[in-house]
Structure 1
Amino acid sequence: MCGICGQLAYASSPPVARDVVAAMCAALHHRGPDDVGIHVDGRVGLGATRLAIIDVAGGHQPLSNEDGTVWAVQNGEIYNYRALRDDLVARGHRFATDSDTEVIVHLYEAYGDAFVERLRGMFAVAVWDARADRLVLARDRLGIKPLFYAEHGGALWFASEIKALLAAGLPRRLDPVALHDYLTFDFVPGPNTMFDGISRLQPGHRLVWDGMLKVERYWDLPPQAAAAPVTDDVDALSAQLRTRLEDAVAAHMVSDVPVGAFLSGGLDSSVVVALMARLSPRPIHTFAVGFQERSYNELPWARKVARHCGTVHHEEVISPRVEDIVHGLVTAFDEPFGDSSAVAAWVVAQSAAGSTKVVLSGDGGDEVFGGYVIYQADCLADLYRRLPAVLAERAIPRLVARLPASDAKMSWDLRLRRFVEHARRDPLGAHVSWRVIFGSESKARLYARDFGAARHDSLDLPRAHFDAHPGADLLNRFMVVDTKISLVDDMLTKVDRTSMAHSLEVRVPLLDHHLVTWMSGIPSRYKVHGRRLTLKYLLKRAAAPWLPRDVVHRPKAGFHVPVPAWLKHELRPLVDQQLGRAAVARQGVFDPDAVAALLAEHQSGRANHSRNIWGLLMFSLWYDGQRIAHG
């Protein structure tokens, strides 16, 4: 794992200054504290900070071919690099190291831009071809590793994190389109960022500069019919899935240092740990986090799986000041990030980093195997739409409105309110709206009168992904939408930033692209199954031989944190400081009266606005910390 960065000066611009690339590398030190490397040659500069995991002694970056005409830097891991290396050696290529990054150099020589299509792994890559005067940037298929870029001051800039671009002097201007989407989703979906002029390279895309800049897709989820399995026999499918899971986990355990695992006690991480225990010659280390609040504590389940698999288990109960973690998150993410489960991710990464450099996690399982409760809601909404209007539009909403607000993790009152509010919309509109933080009307009231707010429909992006897969069944199309948006820019962003802030590499075997491709062809009836709408049905069938029955079949819990209580107690002074009338008016983005009304309703207990307030708090802290300009 590394942090990468660079600059390509256009023809009319001054040559690259080494100290600028060095400043960018310094901003990425946390991503690679073991080594730093810089290559500057006239109009191009490449930088890398390295967390040494593969070829610990010889993997210094940037790396070049024999005559120094092709250079590469890479963030991530290439799990099939040894097979690729053997093929390249047979073709006459000579290697100076056992590094997966050097494989990329020679793979580019052999296959040109198509080199990226042969990689199995998580990666963000930059290749400079001095002979052809061209730069190639590429990001892995599922967006596990980040890559940002911008054109500014007569140059093309890129980096693993935005903070490295800011260290090079790029402007800090607020993008109102990104803000509008952030208020909708709690995160900023790509390709935009909260900084006007800075973009994300999207998953499965490469950027090529050869005198002109072009961005092109090299991979996408295949149509369901094209990826369909050859049998509908559920026992045969379960056996095939077991084989594919074993292959994915084995590939992700390739390392020259010990590999541990995050263990929540949920099905996804438990499957990963069970397979690691079967594949490893020695006990693996597992890491779990819990909370003092009883309804938010999943440690007993993690403990049970650890005992079953014979791991060396580490637990931590969140007891430090939450405010310290919040400030750490603001620094780590570079953009406002409203998913409060980042607090738990931060603590478990901090705990694991004290014992290992690499862990595997179960992230991606909900999108790949059909694990979100919202998929059950999608099915129930079809029935709800058939109810008489007098029930669906009047009687049931009135009953639900009388439910008292709850601070518990499984807040069924909030779920029911959201369900009846949106269930009668079109299927995609309902699916997306159940997760929306601020709807269109709420956003219109929230903005300050003089702020130049964007007014686009944030549902346009999910609809584009939905429409791009017309041959899939309805639930599978929803899973495509979630894979393309919330998985990438919420879940995987959370994992990357919280782990890299502690110099920890997290690998996600359930997002191995071979496994994801195969699962995309499985009809959704094998993911959300039967009259009981059993989630992850096929995964549960596959996991049955590996785990205790109650672990396999326990209800989904999720990775939640006690935000409502924090906002009323530990974080109340910070909320008052950042979201008080004076602070809101000073920033000039939101209307002080609208924010005050939201806070008053939450603090009185009349409603649970914890997600909204958390998102506004993270934005306010980011805005002040970055000294943002707008207008």
Structure 2
Amino acid sequence: MCGIAGAFWTSPHHEVSAAVLTQMTDSIAHRGPDDSGIYHRSQQVHGPYGIIPGIGLGHRRLSIIDLAGGHQPLANEDETVWTVFNGEIFNFKSLRARLEGAGHTFRTDSDTEVIVHLFEDEGVDAFRHFNGMFAIAVWDQRHRRIVLGRDRLGQKPLYFRVQDDQLLFGSELKAILQVPGVPREVDPGAIDAYLTYQYVPHPRTIFKGIHKLPPGCYLTFDGQKLEVISYWNPDFTQEANLSLADAKAELVELFTDSVRLRLQADVPLGAFLSGGVDSSLVVATMKQLTDQPVKTFSIGFPQKDYDETSYARLVAEHLGTEHHEFQVTPDAVEILPKLIHHYDEPMADSSAIPTWYVSQMTREHVTVALSGDGGDELFAGYDRYKAVRWAAMIDKLGPFGRLASRIGMKVLPAGGPQKSILRRGYRFAEAMSLSPARRYLDWISIFNETRRGDLYSDAFLAQLPESDPFSFLYQAWKRVGQRDPLIAASLADLTTYLPCDLNTKVDIAAMANALECRQPFLDYRLAEFAIRLPSKWKWRGGRGKFLLKHAFGDRLPKAIWNRKKMGFGVPLNTWFRGQLRDILHDTLLSEASLSRGYFQPAAVRQLLDEHDQNQFDHSARLWALLVLELWHQEWVDGHQAA
């Protein structure tokens, strides 16, 4: 687990100096406090392969495997293939055995060396063989090109910028921003998407000209031609015809092997334990695979509605773990600047706050933590999928269903607390006139299309591109073809919400605290299995995760299987009427904020007034606006391209 940065150029006028490369690498030192290294070579006009482009590779290391020998950048024997790499290749031992059988000689025991030797043999097809979480950069001297690759489910981030013959890349945006001349021009379309989803979807970033490499893709650039190619394309339209017994057996085998692979480490290792089904199953499986008590970590909050520690404690006692429980009183005033600095672009998932705290406290005891991320997307665990099922049944009623929805809108209140039953009912009825994909976006949006239109100024509306933020979700939704809408929603979340929100949130919070986080549910083999499962093996009796319970029901207490799902969140609603009220008002109503020209001042004041007067819970929307403005102050105001 590390941080990477670098540059490639074919003209001496666009060279990135060794000093700047070091600055890029140092800007992400928090990702790798144990070691650092750079490889820098100016463009060569004469050489065995003709004109050789300039290359710079930088690395910050958090040592996990082969503590003594895993230094990067790392090259093959004749130094025609160099790599820097962030993440873990969990199947590196089997790949190494195969490569040694083919005659390759290894100098280290690290997973990194597998990358250069496999690239020698397979080229870009090497990415298909890696089972892991990774962002990889390869300098391929023989073909005079730079190659970037990202893992299938987007667990590790990778940003890049191409201008003329120069390519810059980094694990975080801040690395690219260290290069003189890189502009910080905000993309209006990215703001529109951010206020829709609470994150900026790939391949966009908040800045024009800088992009995210999408999950499951690799990039090649030779100074003239840029290609982004997807190497992972499972067929989302096909369902497996599996009996329940066969599905259970395959799930147990895949999940057990996934956890086993993620226990490889030469440093202390533990697990996040929320007391939910997914993290509890990870811990239960860890217990089966190790002779030592599993170290588990959970955090609790003073507000009962946001505290899961009693469930985590129940699981810990049931499994006999070495449990560490931290009681935290979140200090939003203290933590906000840290979040804004480390999340280089606006990210409005407020669960980044508890994720930060649990990462910080876990790092005091271990260097690696396993988590349960991905289980909800793969096995239909979110409560919102109930609405998807109900809506699908109403759709089958045709005109009668639409009439019932219109009646519901007239009798249900439009205001009130965001999560109240009546408010949810109104939103459900309101969206029933839309297509299934559109209504799902309406349900998950921070600001839906109508609210964004009411918020934006005329000048900002004129700057927006013709493309609709909906297209990001729709492209994912339609991949399932004619399958059940529940499958469409959950698999759309798998390729949108999971990589762009959840994985980003965990990666940044964990790596800011020099903690590696591994997610067994996101083994691509397990994902491919779950993608093919029909909804009947995921959803039963109005609840998701049916197959998980059928396969692993005896591993956890019944109370864990039967408990109501609780989000990993913080009481924004209360904070915005209490400790954060002054910061919220002073920030959003400041001259700097209102003069940016994005929003109508009256619309911002209305959101604040309605929330203050408890007419409506606008906390998620206000948090998104607050994060956006504070991000502007940190990353744009006062910064001029050199």
Query: Does the Cα contact within 8 Å between 2:240 and 2:534 map onto a contact in 1?
Result: no
For 2:37, what is the secondary structure of its paired residue? strand
Query: Does the Cα contact within 8 Å between 1:584 and 1:591 map onto a contact in 2?
Result: no
User: Quick one: which amino acid aligns to residue 117 of structure 1?
Assistant: R
1:429 CA displacement: 1.3
For 2:3, what is the secondary structure of its paired residue? strand
How do 1:415-564 and structure 2 match up within 5 A?
A: 415-451=424-460, 452-454=462-464, 456-470=467-481, 472-529=483-540, 532-564=541-573
- Asked if 1:221 corresponds to 2:234, the answer is yes
For 2:459, what is the secondary structure of its paired residue? coil
Residues 394 and 518 of structure 1: CA distance in aligned 2, closer, same or farther (over 3 Å):
closer
How do 1:122-201 and structure 2 match up within 5 A?
A: 122-152=133-163, 154-169=165-180, 170-201=182-213
User: Quick one: which amino acid aligns to residue 478 of structure 2?
Assistant: D
1:446 CA displacement: 1.4
- TM-score, with length taken from structure 1: 0.95
* Number of the residue aligned with 1:20: 20
Query: Does the Cα contact within 8 Å between 1:208 and 1:214 map onto a contact in 2?
Result: yes
How do 1:269-348 and structure 2 match up within 5 A?
A: 269-348=279-358
User: Quick one: which amino acid aligns to residue 31 of structure 2?
Assistant: R
Query: Does the Cα contact within 8 Å between 1:540 and 1:553 map onto a contact in 2?
Result: no
User: Quick one: which amino acid aligns to residue 357 of structure 1?
Assistant: T
User: Quick one: which amino acid aligns to residue 130 of structure 1?
Assistant: Q
Structure 2 residue corresponding to 1:350, chosen from 335, 354, 360: 360
Residues 399 and 247 of structure 1: CA distance in aligned 2, closer, same or farther (over 3 Å):
same
Q: Distance in 2 between matches of 1:390 and 1:202?
A: 38
1:283 CA displacement: 1.0
- Percent identical pairs in the alignment equals 41
* Number of the residue aligned with 1:585: 594
1:580 CA displacement: 1.4
1:443 CA displacement: 1.3
Could you list the per-position Cα deviations for residues 246-290 of structure 1 after superposition, in whole angstroms to 9, with x for gaps in the alignment?
A: 111111111111211011100000000111111122112111122
1:609 CA displacement: 0.6
Could you list the per-position Cα deviations for residues 529-567 of structure 1 after superposition, in whole angstroms to 9, with x for gaps in the alignment?
A: 2xx322111111112121111212222222122110011
Q: Distance in 2 between matches of 1:568 and 1:485?
A: 32
Could you list the per-position Cα deviations for residues 346-379 of structure 1 after superposition, in whole angstroms to 9, with x for gaps in the alignment?
A: 1111110111110000001110011111211111
* Number of the residue aligned with 2:7: 7
Q: Distance in 1 between matches of 2:410 and 2:102?
A: 72
1:57 CA displacement: 0.8
* Number of the residue aligned with 2:106: 95
For 1:281, what is the secondary structure of its paired residue? coil
1:154 CA displacement: 4.3
Query: Does the Cα contact within 8 Å between 2:607 and 2:618 map onto a contact in 1?
Result: yes
Could you list the per-position Cα deviations for residues 453-481 of structure 1 after superposition, in whole angstroms to 9, with x for gaps in the alignment?
A: 41532111211122233154332222221
Q: Distance in 2 between matches of 1:84 and 1:189?
A: 33
- Asked if 1:268 corresponds to 2:241, the answer is no
- Asked if 1:38 corresponds to 2:45, the answer is no
Q: Distance in 2 between matches of 1:610 and 1:416?
A: 19
* Number of the residue aligned with 2:248: 238
User: Quick one: which amino acid aligns to residue 434 of structure 1?
Assistant: W
User: Quick one: which amino acid aligns to residue 380 of structure 1?
Assistant: W
Query: Does the Cα contact within 8 Å between 1:283 and 1:312 map onto a contact in 2?
Result: yes
Deviates more, 1:50-59 or 1:310-319: 310-319
Q: Distance in 2 between matches of 1:224 and 1:314?
A: 43
Query: Does the Cα contact within 8 Å between 1:223 and 1:471 map onto a contact in 2?
Result: no
1:70 CA displacement: 0.9
User: Quick one: which amino acid aligns to residue 96 of structure 1?
Assistant: R
Query: Does the Cα contact within 8 Å between 1:4 and 1:159 map onto a contact in 2?
Result: yes
* Number of the residue aligned with 1:256: 266
1:14 CA displacement: 4.4
1:292 CA displacement: 0.8
Residues 414 and 263 of structure 1: CA distance in aligned 2, closer, same or farther (over 3 Å):
farther
1:587 CA displacement: 2.7
User: Quick one: which amino acid aligns to residue 178 of structure 1?
Assistant: A
Could you list the per-position Cα deviations for residues 493-533 of structure 1 after superposition, in whole angstroms to 9, with x for gaps in the alignment?
A: 1010111110111000001000000111110121112xx32
1:159 CA displacement: 0.4
Q: Distance in 2 between matches of 1:263 and 1:128?
A: 40
- Asked if 1:57 corresponds to 2:68, the answer is yes
Q: Please give the root-mean-square deviation of Cα atoms over the aligned residues, in Å.
A: 1.8
Deviates more, 1:420-429 or 1:45-54: 420-429
Residues 411 and 352 of structure 1: CA distance in aligned 2, closer, same or farther (over 3 Å):
farther
Q: Distance in 2 between matches of 1:591 and 1:167?
A: 34
Q: Distance in 1 between matches of 2:328 and 2:421?
A: 25
* Number of the residue aligned with 2:50: none
Query: Does the Cα contact within 8 Å between 1:224 and 1:522 map onto a contact in 2?
Result: no
Q: Distance in 1 between matches of 2:183 and 2:426?
A: 42
Q: Distance in 1 between matches of 2:196 and 2:241?
A: 40
Q: Distance in 2 between matches of 1:81 and 1:108?
A: 13
Q: Distance in 2 between matches of 1:400 and 1:507?
A: 44
1:242 CA displacement: 1.5
* Number of the residue aligned with 2:604: 595
1:296 CA displacement: 1.3
* Number of the residue aligned with 1:617: 626
Query: Does the Cα contact within 8 Å between 2:585 and 2:608 map onto a contact in 1?
Result: no
Q: Distance in 2 between matches of 1:361 and 1:85?
A: 27
Residues 282 and 221 of structure 1: CA distance in aligned 2, closer, same or farther (over 3 Å):
same
Could you list the per-position Cα deviations for residues 173-202 of structure 1 after superposition, in whole angstroms to 9, with x for gaps in the alignment?
A: 101111110011111111000011100000
Q: Structure 2: which 5+ residue stretches go unaligned? A: 43-53
For 1:431, what is the secondary structure of its paired residue? helix
User: Quick one: which amino acid aligns to residue 213 of structure 1?
Assistant: L
User: Quick one: which amino acid aligns to residue 578 of structure 2?
Assistant: H
Query: Does the Cα contact within 8 Å between 2:280 and 2:315 map onto a contact in 1?
Result: yes
Q: Distance in 1 between matches of 2:411 and 2:328?
A: 37
- TM-score, with length taken from structure 2: 0.94
Q: Distance in 2 between matches of 1:535 and 1:14?
A: 53
* Number of the residue aligned with 1:75: 86
Q: Structure 1: which 5+ residue stretches go unaligned? A: none
1:592 CA displacement: 1.3
Q: Distance in 2 between matches of 1:448 and 1:584?
A: 13
Query: Does the Cα contact within 8 Å between 1:422 and 1:433 map onto a contact in 2?
Result: yes
For 1:127, what is the secondary structure of its paired residue? strand
Q: Distance in 1 between matches of 2:62 and 2:95?
A: 22
Query: Does the Cα contact within 8 Å between 2:406 and 2:429 map onto a contact in 1?
Result: no
